[in-house]
Amino acid sequence: MICVSIGRTRHKMVLAEIQEAAKRGAQLIELRLDFLARAPDFKRLLADKPCPMVATARRIQDGGRWARSEEERLMLLRQAIVGGFDWVDLETDIAERIPRFRHVKRIVSYHNLREFPDDLEEIHMRMSNQDADVIKLAVRAMHPADNIRVLELVQRSRQPTVAFCVGDLGTLSRILAGRFGAPFTYAAFNKERGIAPGILSFDEMRAIYRYDHITPRTRIFAVIGDPVAHSLSPVIHNGAFRTLGLDCVYLPVRIPRGDLEESLQALDRLPVEGYSVTIPHKEAAARLARQRDSRVDAIGAANTLVRASDGGFAAYNTDAPAAVESLLFALAQIEDPPRIAGKSVLILGAGGAARAVAFGLHQAGALLTITNRTPERAQELAAAIGCRVVDWAARHAVTADIVVNCTSVGMHPHVDESPLHVSFLRPGLVVFDIVYNPENTLLVKQARERGCHVLTGVDMFVRQALLQFKHFTGQEAPRDLMEKLVRRALSPVKWSEEEFFA
């Protein structure tokens, strides 16, 4: 079950969101009384309650907005208890000051948005003696392994417990809470309201992750990177699982640079069966895998890890074939037959994605030039491929038939940046930007305006995902669906769950 958290300053908007959440299937709703600009009118707020309601008035130090006195807050909570709420949320330090009243259930909570407490289990043990119907712990994840610790605490607990990590490192603990025995998890009706750091929306939890369908038998896959919140991989992989009727879930997991091996060891306890690997871990993923396909050995970078029979990982690179297929598809629109061999290609970047693209195009016979903001990396890649390298400052002096942007320049949220000056763009030049979020980067927009032939990152993104899906499941993914979901996710249109996956 998902507890939908609603926080608005005006009663009118609170009531509107209550009714809309109910239409979308909410079974439990939390009203954040600390958001209200004036004293709550319980009679009005609860007149037509569609499901059980939780009263919460969160203090600033606990991540809320309550700025008035503590005595006023305690009085408000007591009034909420007698005013018709079904549940009340009481922080552990005040729980014993407000006794149980009639049928109203008690959530006894602990919030630490600054750090992950070393004595988490001891805190939980003390809270188990505070007459709670549900114990709630929300703590700041400092490392991906912290998610495993809170989930295992939920699993071991003899009392119903909701425990998760806040912040972008804690997303997986929110999504997998029910799998480990939590009676419910939290989602925001509108996460843009600033309900809590890292909280997902009710629509995301239901439509993308299908929270209520996750069980202990559900197979787990993930995308790992830093950053990773912008990734649309969960949208397309979960959409494919849903369409094919597979009991699987695909999660976004942020792993900071340098933490890959330790984090994967911790995530083994879930366990995760396969990973999509993105910036900055592609080269590290290739090194730690026990088994590597020929492309990974040649490129030195992997974008796919799959659990092998020996318990380690098998590494694959689906970026290289996806890049070649995408470019051939684009060239087919302007020449027959399409040809990469003999064409001059300028590759911007020298990271894991650039290595894969360079390898694939070199194998196809392209004449490559590599440039990168860190010249040492460009020189290393050029030496490995056997091609030309130029300094980043000299990139505009290169004559090329095709330019491929493999940097993160232009990626969300830095959408006003481009890796090339507009003067470099000329009619007839093929411009391939592998960034897909946003699809229409500044480079793509300017290239179109200057008469270039343009290929966006969506095509390559979908093609590499199709190959990953086959490695993960052994099945073919629905390509048309994946492409449609990417474009719908990138569009400004708000889709209902049924419309989005139709």
**Residue written as tokens 């994967």?**
264
Question: Phi and psi (nearest 5°) for 134?
Answer: -140, 135
Among 173, 155, 175, 176, residue whose Cα is nearest residue 164: 173
Residue 16: is it exposed, middle or buried by C-beta count within 10 angstroms (0-12/13-18/19+)? middle
Residue 497: is it exposed, middle or buried by C-beta count within 10 angstroms (0-12/13-18/19+)? middle
CA distances from 482 to 145, 189, 194, 238, 316 (A): 31, 26, 30, 10, 20
Strand partners, 389: 370
d(CA 144, CA 152): 14
- Where residue 413 falls (left for φ over 0; alpha for ψ -120 to 50; beta otherwise) is alpha
How many CA atoms are closer than 13 Å to the CA of 289, on its beta-carbon side? 29
Strand partners, 370: 347, 389
What tokens were used for 65? Answer: 């907005």
Among 231, 140, 142, 222, residue whose Cα is nearest residue 175: 222
The alpha carbon of 390 is separated from its chain's Cα centroid by a whole number of angstroms, namely: 35
Neighbour count for residue 122 (Cβ, 10 Å): 10
**What are the residue numbers of the active site?**
282
The residues, ordered by sequence, that sit 6+ positions from 19 with a Cβ below 8 Å of its Cβ are 48, 50
Which ranges of 162-225 would DSSP assign to H, the alpha helix?
Answer: 171-175, 202-203
- Are 134 and 162 in contact by the 8 Å Cβ rule? The answer is yes
Quick one: which H or E segment has residue 236? helix 233-244
The residues, ordered by sequence, that sit 6+ positions from 331 with a Cβ below 8 Å of its Cβ are 338, 339, 340, 430
